[in-house]
A and B are shown apart, each in its own frame.
Chain A
Amino acid sequence: MWGFYFNELIRSLPFFLKGLWMTVAVAGLSLLFGTIIGFFGGIMRAGRNKPARIIVGVWVDLIRGTPFLVQIFVIFFILPGIGIELEAFPAAVIALTNLTASFITEIVASGILAVSKGQREAATASGLSGYQQLRYIVLPQAMRTILPPLVGQYVLLVKDSSIVSAIGVVDITRVGWLTVQRIPEGLMVFGLVGLLYFVICYPLINLSGFLERRMTVGSKRL
């Protein structure tokens, strides 16, 4: 029986690859948008404008303090109630972008705040504008602090993306659900699902570890 199911599973591989592609698409788009928004958020969170700092802070707390599954339901099921209809795919990307951006905001903000005050003072004293200080002095130094946890956040993003299956996006996890109804070997089916996630995440985990070592040990050039 096991051999029969295994052959069935092999035959379903194209379906799994489609799911894999969907996961990569959802996670990849969210990674891109989330990173951009997260950097802007982090710059505001660490900036001098108090209202902006507070608004971003409240948003971050709200997102970090609620389950992602609830957030995605809110976006997918409740928004249509106020007249905003969304397909599952854009809803998933919006929810995941929002989640990722809030975490990246905190990572970027703490990286910026870790740059010593004297750096900004020296740049101010030499006449660099606020933007130039950020661009040439603060961000390049903050990146050392930001990069390792940022890549770590990407790993979490790929894994959290499995929750979008709950609103019907046919990602790897959803493919697993659908397949297990035909091939009732849960261990085998979800073993494959897990493996596919691992294939994406493992290089990222290594990259994060590599960056961490490079940023701390090889700090000669600081």
Chain B
Amino acid sequence: MISFKNVNKWFGELHVLTDINLEVTKGEVVVVCGPSGSGKSTLIRCINRLEPIQKGELVVDKMDVHDKKTNMTKIRAEIGFIFQSFNLYPHMTALGNVTIAPIRVRKMPKGEAEKLGRDTLTRVGLGERIENYPAQLSGGQQQRVAIARGLCMRPKIMLFDEPTSALDPEMIGEVLDVMRNLAEEGMTMMVVTHEMGFAREVANRVLFMDEGKIIEDAPPNDFFTNPQTERGKTFLSSILTH
């Protein structure tokens, strides 16, 4: 589904991704963790070319993301992307937020899109909040609207960039629950997160990144009980004992 072959990326002089090789198959849930600045967000932002790569091959759903001539609009429609800061459209209601892309990109009739939007918002537990504007919703609710916005495109892949990092602790659970359900339904997911409980319980694989490289790639149990690198060990001890 997602295939990185020797992918490299630079921000100016800064080498942010070094020789990334990675295969994610359909239905897999992959958690990406690592210290800040290790390139985890950049890694998933490359997948829908929010960030272009400079070297290597990146194929998503059989389409060449590394090729500048590829029509990204088509690929992006198949990939839901969830931001740390939600990025809901503040001038639209929850329903407006989730229906704009189906209407404008998928050319879905308005009535049909609104039915889909209502159903999807209900599915993430926001059936009562359809007419609310983002400013009237809590952080956890906003992030769930953002997830519904992604789901309304019926994507093949969902990418999460630290989806709970901007939330108050008591709201993290409601967002993780939605993500857990998605994983159970077989969605292909890549999740950048520090929620190790979620990783342990839901992920098929955990990637550990440091300085732009994937230095561990293992099932969660192996990674948490027996990390192979020194960097992984220090990271785990710092994150699990705090």
Contact = CB atoms under 8 A, between A and B. Distances in A.
Given A124-B50, A125-B79, A126-B149, A220 B87 contact: no
A221 B136 CA distance: 8
A222 B56 CA distance: 42
B135 A220 contact: yes
Interface in B123-167: 133-136, 146, 149-150, 153
A118 B83 contact: yes
A183 to B, nearest CB: 54
A107 B107 CA distance: 33
A126 B105 contact: yes
A122 B105 contact: no
A155 to B, nearest CB: 27
Given A221-B133, A222-B133, A128 B104 contact: yes
A137 interface: yes
Contacts of B83: 118, 121-122
B134 A222 contact: yes
Main secondary structure of the interface of A (DSSP, over half): helix
Contacts of A129: 73
Counting chain A CB atoms within 10 Å of each CB, which of B100, B104, B134, B153 scores highest? B104
A140 to B, nearest CB: 5
Contacts of A219: 135
- Chain A interface extent, by class: 20 to 34
A141 B105 contact: no
A132 interface: yes
A132 to B, nearest CB: 5
Interface residues of B, number: 28
Nearest to A141: B91
Contacts of A122: 81, 83, 87-89, 146
Counting chain B CB atoms within 10 Å of each CB, which of A121, A127, A129, A140 scores highest? A127
A206 interface: no
A132 B80 CA distance: 18
B89 A119 contact: yes
A39 B136 CA distance: 31
Contacts of B48: 125
Contacts of B134: 222
Contacts of A221: 91, 133, 135
A172 to B, nearest CB: 40
Interface in B83-107: 83, 85, 87-91, 100-101, 104-105
- Please give me the 3 A-B residue pairs with the lowest Cβ-Cβ distance, nearest first: A127-B77, A122-B87, A125-B81
Given A119-B87, A124-B50, A140-B91, 18 more contacts: A119-B89, A121-B83, A122-B89, A125-B48, A125-B79, A125-B81, A126-B77, A126-B101, A126-B153, A127-B76, A128-B105, A132-B105, A141-B89, A219-B135, A220-B136, A221-B91, A221-B133, A222-B134
15 contacts: A118-B83, A119-B87, A125-B79, A126-B77, A126-B149, A127-B74, A127-B105, A128-B73, A136-B100, A136-B104, A137-B100, A221-B91, A221-B133, A222-B134, A222-B135
Interface of B: 48, 50, 73-74, 76-77, 79-81, 83, 85, 87-91, 100-101, 104-105, 133-136, 146, 149-150, 153
